Protein backbone atom coordinates (compact mmCIF):
# COMPACT_ATOMS: atom_id res chain seq x y z
CA UNK A 1 0.00 0.00 0.00
CA UNK A 2 2.86 2.45 0.59
CA UNK A 3 4.96 1.58 -2.47
CA UNK A 4 7.27 -0.85 -0.67
CA UNK A 5 7.91 -4.09 -2.48
CA UNK A 6 9.52 -7.37 -1.51
CA UNK A 7 10.34 -10.25 -3.81
CA UNK A 8 9.76 -13.73 -2.43
CA UNK A 9 11.00 -16.82 -4.25
CA UNK A 10 8.49 -19.59 -3.55
CA UNK A 11 8.85 -23.19 -4.68
CA UNK A 12 6.09 -25.73 -4.17
CA UNK A 13 6.25 -29.46 -4.84
CA UNK A 14 3.09 -31.53 -5.03
CA UNK A 15 5.19 -34.71 -5.19
CA UNK A 16 7.10 -33.81 -2.00
CA UNK A 17 4.15 -32.09 -0.28
CA UNK A 18 6.53 -29.25 0.55
CA UNK A 19 7.01 -25.52 0.07
CA UNK A 20 10.21 -23.46 0.18
CA UNK A 21 10.31 -19.71 0.67
CA UNK A 22 13.31 -17.43 0.18
CA UNK A 23 13.00 -13.73 0.94
CA UNK A 24 15.08 -10.76 2.04
CA UNK A 25 12.98 -8.65 4.43
CA UNK A 26 14.95 -5.58 5.46
CA UNK A 27 17.94 -6.88 3.46
CA UNK A 28 18.41 -10.02 5.60
CA UNK A 29 18.09 -13.29 3.71
CA UNK A 30 15.48 -15.66 5.19
CA UNK A 31 14.81 -19.26 4.13
CA UNK A 32 12.07 -21.64 5.19
CA UNK A 33 10.84 -25.07 4.15
CA UNK A 34 7.41 -26.32 5.21
CA UNK A 35 6.10 -29.86 5.15
CA UNK A 36 2.56 -29.27 3.92
CA UNK A 37 1.33 -32.61 5.29
CA UNK A 38 2.58 -32.20 8.89
CA UNK A 39 2.93 -28.41 9.16
CA UNK A 40 6.56 -28.64 10.34
CA UNK A 41 8.57 -25.60 9.25
CA UNK A 42 12.34 -25.19 9.34
CA UNK A 43 13.81 -21.68 9.05
CA UNK A 44 17.38 -20.44 8.64
CA UNK A 45 19.45 -17.46 7.56
CA UNK A 46 23.13 -17.21 6.63
CA UNK A 47 23.51 -15.18 9.85
CA UNK A 48 22.68 -18.31 11.90
CA UNK A 49 25.77 -20.14 10.68
CA UNK A 50 25.04 -23.84 10.39
CA UNK A 51 21.90 -23.75 12.55
CA UNK A 52 18.23 -23.88 11.65
CA UNK A 53 15.08 -23.55 13.77
CA UNK A 54 12.11 -25.94 13.63
CA UNK A 55 8.59 -24.94 14.58
CA UNK A 56 5.14 -26.38 14.17
CA UNK A 57 2.43 -24.68 12.18
CA UNK A 58 -1.11 -25.99 11.72
CA UNK A 59 -1.08 -28.91 9.28
CA UNK A 60 -4.49 -27.94 7.97
CA UNK A 61 -6.06 -24.53 7.92
CA UNK A 62 -9.85 -24.32 7.82
CA UNK A 63 -10.58 -21.40 5.52
CA UNK A 64 -13.93 -19.86 4.63
CA UNK A 65 -13.67 -19.32 0.86
CA UNK A 66 -16.40 -18.36 -1.62
CA UNK A 67 -16.06 -17.78 -5.38
CA UNK A 68 -17.07 -14.25 -6.46
CA UNK A 69 -17.80 -15.10 -10.10
CA UNK A 70 -15.13 -12.58 -11.14
CA UNK A 71 -12.17 -13.58 -13.32
CA UNK A 72 -8.97 -11.73 -14.17
CA UNK A 73 -5.60 -12.17 -15.81
CA UNK A 74 -2.44 -12.06 -13.69
CA UNK A 75 0.85 -11.93 -15.56
CA UNK A 76 -0.82 -13.52 -18.60
CA UNK A 77 -2.57 -16.32 -16.67
CA UNK A 78 -6.32 -16.54 -16.14
CA UNK A 79 -7.70 -16.96 -12.66
CA UNK A 80 -10.95 -16.90 -10.69
CA UNK A 81 -11.37 -14.51 -7.76
CA UNK A 82 -12.44 -15.95 -4.42
CA UNK A 83 -13.29 -14.16 -1.19
CA UNK A 84 -11.11 -15.89 1.41
CA UNK A 85 -12.03 -14.55 4.85
CA UNK A 86 -10.83 -10.92 4.73
CA UNK A 87 -8.77 -11.38 1.54
CA UNK A 88 -9.43 -11.64 -2.19
CA UNK A 89 -7.46 -14.44 -3.87
CA UNK A 90 -7.32 -15.21 -7.58
CA UNK A 91 -6.75 -18.95 -8.14
CA UNK A 92 -5.80 -20.49 -11.48
CA UNK A 93 -7.27 -23.81 -12.68
CA UNK A 94 -4.68 -25.70 -10.56
CA UNK A 95 -5.74 -23.69 -7.46
CA UNK A 96 -2.44 -21.79 -7.44
CA UNK A 97 -3.04 -18.38 -5.80
CA UNK A 98 -1.79 -16.02 -8.54
CA UNK A 99 -2.85 -12.82 -6.75
CA UNK A 100 -3.77 -12.12 -3.13
CA UNK A 101 -5.09 -8.82 -1.78
CA UNK A 102 -5.35 -8.45 2.00
CA UNK A 103 -4.87 -5.78 4.64
CA UNK A 104 -3.73 -3.14 2.16
CA UNK A 105 -1.12 -5.41 0.57
CA UNK A 106 -1.08 -7.18 -2.77
CA UNK A 107 0.99 -10.23 -3.67
CA UNK A 108 1.30 -11.61 -7.19
CA UNK A 109 3.06 -14.69 -8.52
CA UNK A 110 5.27 -14.13 -11.54
CA UNK A 111 7.62 -16.34 -13.54
CA UNK A 112 5.70 -19.53 -12.73
CA UNK A 113 7.56 -22.70 -13.72
CA UNK A 114 5.48 -25.88 -13.51
CA UNK A 115 8.40 -28.29 -14.03
CA UNK A 116 9.39 -31.08 -11.59
CA UNK A 117 11.61 -29.94 -8.73
CA UNK A 118 14.57 -31.54 -7.02
CA UNK A 119 13.54 -32.95 -3.60
CA UNK A 120 16.77 -31.53 -2.08
CA UNK A 121 15.36 -28.03 -2.63
CA UNK A 122 12.97 -28.74 0.25
CA UNK A 123 15.63 -29.70 2.79
CA UNK A 124 17.58 -27.41 5.13
CA UNK A 125 21.25 -26.89 4.20
CA UNK A 126 23.36 -30.05 4.32
CA UNK A 127 25.02 -30.44 7.70
CA UNK A 128 22.77 -27.90 9.41
CA UNK A 129 21.93 -28.51 13.06
CA UNK A 130 18.15 -28.25 13.33
CA UNK A 131 16.89 -27.15 16.75
CA UNK A 132 13.36 -26.64 18.01
CA UNK A 133 12.48 -22.97 18.31
CA UNK A 134 12.73 -22.11 22.02
CA UNK A 135 9.36 -21.66 23.73
CA UNK A 136 10.37 -18.16 24.88
CA UNK A 137 10.62 -17.04 21.24
CA UNK A 138 7.31 -18.59 20.19
CA UNK A 139 5.10 -16.42 22.41
CA UNK A 140 4.89 -13.33 20.21
CA UNK A 141 5.52 -15.04 16.89
CA UNK A 142 2.64 -14.77 14.47
CA UNK A 143 2.97 -16.47 11.12
CA UNK A 144 0.83 -15.11 8.29
CA UNK A 145 -2.18 -17.13 7.21
CA UNK A 146 -1.64 -17.92 3.55
CA UNK A 147 -4.10 -19.57 1.16
CA UNK A 148 -1.70 -22.45 0.48
CA pair distance 37, 23, nearest whole angstrom? 23
**Whether pLDDT at 102 is above 70:** yes
What is residue 136's predicted lDDT score, i.e. its pLDDT? 64
pTM of the model: 0.74
- The CA angle 105-107-113, to the nearest 5 degrees, is 175
Question: pLDDT tens digit string along 24-60?
Answer: 877 788 999 999 899 999 999 988 889 999 998 888 7
76 pLDDT band (50/70/90 cuts)?
very high
Q: Alpha-carbon Rg of the chain, whole angstroms?
A: 16
Question: Which one-letter DSSP state was computed for residue 122?
Answer: G
More confident residue, 68 or 60: 68
Closest CA to 124 of 59, 43, 14, 57: 43
Amino acid sequence: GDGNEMTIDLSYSVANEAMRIRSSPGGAQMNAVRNMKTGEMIMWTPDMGNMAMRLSTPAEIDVDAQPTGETMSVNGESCEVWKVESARVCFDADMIPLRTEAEGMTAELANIDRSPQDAALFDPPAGATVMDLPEALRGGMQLPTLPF
